[in-house]
Amino acid sequence: MAQASNGTMKAAAYSEYGEPEVLQYMDVPRPVPGRGEVLVRVRAVSINAFDLMARAGRYTPNKGVFPHVLGSDFAGEIAEIGPEVREPLQVGQRVTAWWVVPCGRCEQCITGNPNICAFDYKYLGAHLWGAYAQYVKLPAFNVIPLPETVSWEEGAAFPTMYGTAWHMLVSQAHVRPGETVLVQAAGAGVSVAGIQIAKLAGATVFATASTDAKLERARALGADAVINYREQDFQQEVMRLTGKRGVDLVFEHVGGDVFEKSIRSLTRGGRLVTCGGTASYDVAFNVAYVFHKQLSIIGSNSATKRELEEMMPLLAARKLQPVVDRVFALPEAAAAHHYVADRRNFGKVVLVPEH
């Protein structure tokens, strides 16, 4: 993406698709905020699964335009305010942001569903330059004030992780008190948020993970029962734990072979909500199992700004607590991508720029 510039800044950017080593610490143009835009001094930015996919070329929203700067989730302070900004913002204000930049005029946008914009849908760090840099430019409308009680690292770990999980569980799947929820891959950032949100809603939570260490951390977040999927068949264990009933709701984002077994873990009339396929987008299942048990399969895409705003009081009150696994300096972005790709993290991995 071409950037108007008022000098240069440091960024971890890539000029070709490939392994983490394509991420290079380099000088890139420092953006200039245009009409209705602000420039934010980045204090911390977190890594998401789609960062890895975009860098590798599995997902190419930048359409081969290089160099490209990743990073949708960040926390920082407003450095410059462009012309015609109507939002009540001030230079120096602590902020995070909604990472979705929709068209604002399609059918979905004007009916309150901008997260599924049909016309000109963009993400920071994917279609647009993101925050693996000292500064990031974005529409002022997307900016959300960050509570003083929240650290830079926690602020960067919050938007996509908690926004996606909230949209899945609360807005799409309508989780209710007393229900049973199976959260897959508990070490993933979105699952860390999912456990907390499901517990806050009054649900009983079962969580899966690949190591006992991750499962212990899931328990500490509130999971009522945990399953090591490398040592146990999670479907059989769910049925044992529920007396062969199955769970009311599965929180899923893995795809691949996990998908069908997740469906088979549901009780009659149960529902599965999915936001992705980090293992594989390709899934296969017996549709008879779905219609016979009258199951619902629910898609969920990102979040709305309003949902993030609804969660801010919970974040400020520490009722939702982002989990930061490890912090890397921004020049170590390649090492951080390796760390996430190896699934060594529980919660979010954060990059910190120097200023």
Domain count across the chain: 2
Burial classification of residue 231, based on how many CB atoms lie within 10 Å of its CB (0-12 exposed, 13-18 middle, 19 or more buried): exposed
pLDDT digits (tens, 9 = 90+) for 133-162: 999 999 999 999 999 999 999 999 999 999
At residue 261, does pLDDT exceed 50?
yes
d(CA 273, CA 168): 6
Residues 211 and 276 in one domain: yes
pLDDT, tens digit, 9 for 90 and up, residues 10-23: 999 999 999 999 99
Question: Is residue 305 assigned to a domain?
Answer: no
CATH number of the CATH domain containing 295: 3.90.180.10
Residue 177 — left, alpha, or beta (φ > 0 → left; ψ -120 to 50 → alpha)?
Answer: beta
Give CA–CA dist 226/217, Å, rounded: 10
Residue pair 228/218 in contact (Cβ under 8 Å)? The answer is no
Domain range for 55 is 5-158+322-352
Which helix H or strand E contains 342, and what residues bound it?
none
Q: How confident is the model at residue 278, as a pLDDT?
A: 86
Q: Is the pLDDT of residue 79 over 50?
A: yes
pLDDT for 16? 98
Q: Are residues 90 and 74 in the same domain?
A: yes
Residue at 35 is within a domain: yes
Q: Is 233 found in the same domain as 143?
A: no
> Do 206 and 176 sit in the same domain of this protein?
yes
**Count of alpha carbons within 13 Å of 229, Cβ hemisphere only?**
20
* pLDDT tens-digit series, residues 286-339: 999 999 999 999 999 999 999 999 999 999 999 999 999 999 999 999 999 999
What confidence category does residue 3 fall into, taking pLDDT thresholds of 50, 70 and 90?
low
Q: Across residues 109-125, what is the average pLDDT?
A: 94
User: 207 and 258 share a domain?
Assistant: yes
pLDDT at 5: 64
Local structure of 285: helix, strand or coil? coil
Structure tokens at 200: 């806050």
3-state SS of 138-173 is EEHHHEEECCCCCCHHHHHCCHHHHHHHHHHHHHHC
Q: Residue 108, class by beta-carbon neighbours within 10 Å (0-12 exposed, 13-18 middle, 19+ buried)?
A: middle
Q: What is the DSSP string of 188-227?
A: SHHHHHHHHHHHHTT-EEEEEESSHHHHHHHHHHT-SEEE
Give one DSSP letter per residue of 287-341, joined into a string: HHHHHHTT-EEEE--S--HHHHHHHHHHHHTTSS-PPEEEEEEGGGHHHHHHHHH
- pLDDT above 90 coverage of the chain, percent: 94
Q: What is the pLDDT of residues 25-52, one digit of tens each?
A: 999 999 999 999 999 999 999 999 899 9
The helix (H) or strand (E) run that includes residue 40 is strand 37-46
Q: What is the pLDDT of residue 9?
A: 98
Q: What is the pTM of this model?
A: 0.93
Give the rounded distance of the alpha carbon of 241 from its chain centre. Answer: 29
Angle between helices 212-221 and 189-200 (to 10 degrees): 30
Q: Letter for the amino acid at 339? A: Y
pLDDT score recorded for residue 144? 98
Note the pLDDT of residue 1.
46
